Amino acid sequence: MPKIVDHDQRRRQLIDALWRIASRDGLEAVSLGQVAAEAGVSKGLVQHYFRSKGEMLLHATTYLRERVEQRIAARAGSGQLRAILLAFLPVDEESRTEMLVANAFFFRALRDPAMAERFERGNTGLRQAVTDQIVAAQQRGEMAVDLDPAQEATVLLALVDGLASGLLLGHHTPESAEATLNYQLAKLG
């Protein structure tokens, strides 16, 4: 009887191995062979799913986006705008690993036009989602109508970037970072 393989699960296994390498050693240490060794599979198996390191890295950015979207959906009960922003704070081991990997991709994007394009699309989409949430809150009377939604979105995302870096470096606790975010959100109401 032939073995049934879940190809999506296998890709996730390989991307998880890539993440472990990237969060520990940086993206420069990622190779098809290193991913194979980390995942405990053959290099040929990795090549079956990904023709090149570049293809594997692009797939990994998609996986990163999907994981963040899942975290946003799981937190949606706390208010969609707040949930979106909290999803980018590395407050546990999983989100810390994601942030380390995202930072590794950010530095690669400085030298890789395809990665930079992907980052720009993601950032534009995120900025628009935050702007839309602010507009919706204004329409519900939850935020002041004289605020510029796009500018406030930029400020909030810059705040979250700074808090995330501070969390990674140990300058903030998850509680202090969340309190700072809540403080800024309260000022908008």
The pLDDT value given to residue 66: 86
CA distance linking residue 13 with residue 180, whole number of Å: 36
Using pLDDT thresholds of 50, 70 and 90, give the confidence band for residue 150. very high
The pLDDT score that the predictor gives to residue 2 is: 63
Which residue segments constitute the domains of the chain, with CATH numbers given?
Answer: 7-188 (1.10.357.10)
pTM of the full structure: 0.82
Q: Average model confidence (pLDDT) for the chain?
A: 91
Cβ–Cβ < 8 Å for 56, 50: yes
Q: How do residues 6-40 score in pLDDT, each as one tens digit?
A: 888 999 999 999 999 998 998 889 999 999 999 99
